[in-house]
Structure 1
Amino acid sequence: MEGAGEERGGKRARSGGARWASDGAPGGYFAAYSAPGIHADMLADRVRLEAYFAALNAGAVEGKVVLDVGTGTGVLACMAAKAGAAKVVAVDGSAAAAAAAEAMVADNGLGHIVTVVCSPVEELELEEASVDVIVSEWMGYALIYESMLPSVVFARDAFLKPGGLVLPSRALLYAVPFTSHTGMVEELDSASATAAVPELALLDAWDAQQRFGLRWRALRPFFASGSGGLPDAATAARLTVDELEPELVAAEPGLVLDLDLSTVAATELVAGAATLSDLVFSTRATMGTPLAGICLYFDTVFEAADVVLTTSPLSPPTHWAQTLLHLPASAHRQLDLDSHVSGRISLLPDFAPGQERNLAIHLELDEHGEPGPRYAFLLDAVEVRAARAP
């Protein structure tokens, strides 16, 4: 099957297998997902959970076979089962997360519907010939930092039946110019948490309320086992992951990237691919103010359910916050009301086996209708740790 990789020993496999190192192995891709902190951020994100809950309960999974790629603690798999899915296969490469998911499934009495498999999806063996729906929460900072979308595309090509559904079905990246306030420059040297880490009391409250129709107590041991395991670190000099204050938004959003998850190919998601290179954006200033940088945020769309999950700075906050590209002070320029701001952005994901993933971002802003200087930014594991630092 095209895009499904080679057949090895009865398993669908892909080259570069070192990526799939076990938990705790040096540079293991799944090591970060074994720490409770990253899952705590996701569970604390009300906007995220409510969007997936609404999408899964719009009828698209009822009576269907569902594959949950990167299930984590199994919450989306349980939601799909409660929404009427006939069967759910929940796959995750982190042994710690998969164990938490199994506990969640068992405590909710959904073991007859949900099967948790600890495996990279590239090595997954399914009893079924195909699935009807693939659901995944694959998005990362600046949309693609997480390096997980290629795995979703792999699963789509390998397992999704013709005419099947991918949830979400579309992803859009936007660029928004922003201005600064007096203290913003000093704040670049300090980390900012993107979301509060939920305490055990929150899980207890959700369990008592049967939040989203689920029992939550089975996750207490997982979250009690550690506070996240990601050390504090200084932020990158000119790139931050933070909530942009709405009053600092200086222009309308400009569309940078529009991905159709039913058709995008894995070859379009690597550094240098035309899909991610020299992406033109254009927008209009909504105030007269100095231009301090460009904010990147994304929307994911569940078209079958008419649901949009947005990370816009003008909407309720999410654990993704926004990725802020701060221009050097010498590059700040005055924006006039209704003036146009345009430029190009290139996204260069970099994932080498045995190394931590990172995402290079190149930004070029037009000046007087001509291409201006090009600025390079790096979103790496250090920045991600800083974003989660308490």
Structure 2
Amino acid sequence: MSDTDSDTASSVGEILEDVSEADTTTFKCLFCDEQWSRVPDMFSHCHKEHDFDVENTIKKLGQDIDELSIIKLINYLRLEAQKGIAPKEIKVDSETLADDKYLHPTLPDDALLFELGDFMPDADSKAIDYDEYEAALQKNVGGNVEKLSLDNDRDTDYFESYKGNAIHREMIEDRVRTEGYRDFIEKNAELFKGKTVLDVGCGTGILSLFCARAGAKRVLAVDNSDIANRARDNIARNGFSDKIEVIQGRIEDFHMQRKIGKEKVDIIISEWMGYGLLFEGMLDSVLRARDLYLKEDGLMVPSHCTMRIAPISDKEWIADASGEKFWKDVYGFDFTSMIPGGILNDREIGVFDVPSKSIGGEASTFYELDLKNIQIRDLDFTASFSSKLGSSSASIDAFAIWFDTFFLPGEKSQDATAIDVAKWGNNGEAGLGFSTGPYSTYTHWHQAVLLLGDEDRKKEVKGGSTLKGKVTYKKPRKDDRGIDVTVEWEAESTQGPVSGSSKRTMGA
């Protein structure tokens, strides 16, 4: 979740019009263009479709093989494939891989190089970290070769934003969020008793402490921010150092498995949700952790999220949020050239607590995330929605997007799209969860608001008619932390059909 002032509306991002590139969180097959998110699946594909056994090739290289050699192997195989050599004709031996030119990645930003933890040497050999890899790359390949991009300023800023106290206080003070997790853990303590839990993005360690207090045997608390040092102190002060181990680093790092160990975990818990649910891209890391570390019958906490959308039909609220009301009269002067000059504008997605009276139609669930099964590639999508407009709605001014979060253990598993989490606790429905929508208690996530263009806001719609449309989420080019959101819609007016489309960016 992004750093924000919970008392005021906020906005993030600049528009990026470039067409999105392939999701860098997946990786290309060694010998064809097919994309994969799991190394074992890709290696199996190479064996069956290309007649090349990568795992057996690694084993044949012998016990002296090190991590750099495996990285060289991947780059070498890609290079040979680019030359047009048939996979079964590629010869691999230690002498070939002794050449340090193969440290240089064949593909720029090759995500596969960060996913090889399961195939690295045993833990009794020294794990090499990114700094050592980069140093070896530059020393042996030369200064004229572009360095492998292992990190970027966007990621650095992201983790830096989480090292201070303010953002963590804001999240912990969000009782809907924090008590939602606590209540699930405490009311389902039997799920945690004696189990191993992986907390991805542990922050101050609050979720890890809930798990340990509920009886977890071991909790692995991972965070790449310096807040990990505070988490370690918090855990020690509360007497849980014997159960909770804090590990600072990125869950994606190829040497992280050395620290976590090769035993699979029973539960992965994480508070990964961002504005509009997917802003910040932390879910990518959680899904990688799931694929690497979670037992087949393991539990994801939360288990599901649904994404919801509703039209906003309230020109007075729009005028205030966009700055139109303010700029029309500045001490008697007309400053309308400054419009839109507020947090709600025609480039970015704004973040607001939208008054429920401003919602102009029924909320529609347009996407469900089953955290046990969804893949990273599924986080770029286009989905349909439908909403019956309120009888007094005369225009569509904007769209509000929010999410509902579910904690559904296996025996309580059900269709999350059919559950109204705002009513849980009142009507005895199974499961636990919370909503971040305008009809529930406000949270630090607020709602993401996408303002329509001026011409679209002038179009009249017929109250009580059905609004239909599509929502597209797509990561901007070279920015897995941001989101481009496009909403296309059509409705009825007294003169016939009307439609519109709006694209806004949430990013930095």
AA matched with 1:288: S
Aligned partner of residue 357 in structure 1, secondary structure: coil
- Of 11, 33, 56, the residue aligned with 2:162 is 33
- Of 194, 218, 238, the residue aligned with 1:63 is 194
Q: CA deviation at 1:140?
A: 0.5
Residue 240 (structure 1) aligns with: 350
Residue 101 (structure 1) aligns with: 231
1:222-255 deviations in Å (ceiling 9; x for gaps): xxxxxxxxxxx96362331010001111211111
Of 237-246 and 133-142, the range deviating more from structure 2: 237-246
Aligned partner of residue 41 in structure 1, secondary structure: helix
1:321-358 deviations in Å (ceiling 9; x for gaps): 00011112321244444311110110012373xx6832
Residue 20 (structure 2) aligns with: none
Q: Does 1:49 align with 2:178?
A: yes
Residues 371 and 74 (structure 1 numbering): CA distance in 2 closer, same or farther, change over 3 Å?
Answer: farther
Residue 241 (structure 2) aligns with: 111
Residue 259 (structure 1) aligns with: 369
Cα RMSD (Å) of the superposition?
2.9
- Of 428, 434, 447, the residue aligned with 1:309 is 434
- 2:282 touches 2:481 (CA, 8 Å); kept in 1? no
Residues 90 and 321 (structure 1 numbering): CA distance in 2 closer, same or farther, change over 3 Å?
Answer: same
Distance 2:389 2:450 in 1: 17
More strand by proportion, 1 or 2?
Answer: 1
Number of matched pairs: 327
Aligned partner of residue 362 in structure 2, secondary structure: coil
Distance 2:438 2:286 in 1: 27
- Of 463, 470, 494, the residue aligned with 1:344 is 470
Give me the TM-score of the superposition, normalised by structure 1.
0.77
Q: CA deviation at 1:187?
A: 2.4
- 1:20 touches 1:120 (CA, 8 Å); kept in 2? no
More helix by proportion, 1 or 2?
Answer: 2
Residue 309 (structure 2) aligns with: 175
Q: CA deviation at 1:26?
A: 8.1
- 1:288 touches 1:334 (CA, 8 Å); kept in 2? no
Residues 3 and 234 (structure 1 numbering): CA distance in 2 closer, same or farther, change over 3 Å?
Answer: farther
1:348-382 deviations in Å (ceiling 9; x for gaps): 12373xx683211111111449783321101123x
- 1:6 touches 1:13 (CA, 8 Å); kept in 2? no
Distance 1:135 1:17 in 2: 31
- 2:305 touches 2:406 (CA, 8 Å); kept in 1? yes
Q: Does 1:288 align with 2:392?
A: yes
Matches within 5 A, 1:1-390: 3=38, 5-7=115-117, 10=121, 18=149, 20=151, 27-57=156-186, 58-59=188-189, 60-95=191-226, 97-123=227-253, 124-125=256-257, 126-189=260-323, 235=343, 237-238=345-346, 239-269=349-379, 273=380, 276-277=381-382, 279-289=383-393, 290-304=395-409, 306-332=431-457, 333-350=459-476, 352=478, 357-368=481-492, 372-381=499-508
Residues 68 and 351 (structure 1 numbering): CA distance in 2 closer, same or farther, change over 3 Å?
Answer: farther
Aligned partner of residue 235 in structure 2, secondary structure: helix
Q: CA deviation at 1:299?
A: 0.6
Aligned partner of residue 176 in structure 1, secondary structure: strand
Residues 92 and 314 (structure 1 numbering): CA distance in 2 closer, same or farther, change over 3 Å?
Answer: same
Aligned partner of residue 168 in structure 2, secondary structure: helix
Give me the TM-score of the superposition, normalised by structure 2.
0.60
Aligned partner of residue 291 in structure 1, secondary structure: coil
Unaligned runs of 5+ in 1: 191-232, 382-390
Q: CA deviation at 1:139?
A: 0.6
- Residue identity over aligned pairs, in percent, reads 28
Which of these two proteins has the greater Rg computed from alpha carbons? 2
Residues 17 and 366 (structure 1 numbering): CA distance in 2 closer, same or farther, change over 3 Å?
Answer: farther
Distance 2:193 2:128 in 1: 28
Unaligned runs of 5+ in 2: 1-35, 40-114, 122-126, 131-146, 325-340, 413-430
AA matched with 2:455: S
Distance 1:255 1:13 in 2: 43
Q: CA deviation at 1:39?
A: 1.6
Distance 2:164 2:342 in 1: 20
AA matched with 1:299: D
- 1:147 touches 1:351 (CA, 8 Å); kept in 2? no
Aligned partner of residue 212 in structure 2, secondary structure: helix
Aligned partner of residue 211 in structure 2, secondary structure: helix
- 1:65 touches 1:88 (CA, 8 Å); kept in 2? yes
Distance 2:231 2:128 in 1: 24
1:75-117 deviations in Å (ceiling 9; x for gaps): 111111111111100000112x101111111111110111000
- 2:488 touches 2:500 (CA, 8 Å); kept in 1? yes
AA matched with 1:253: A
Q: CA deviation at 1:65?
A: 0.4
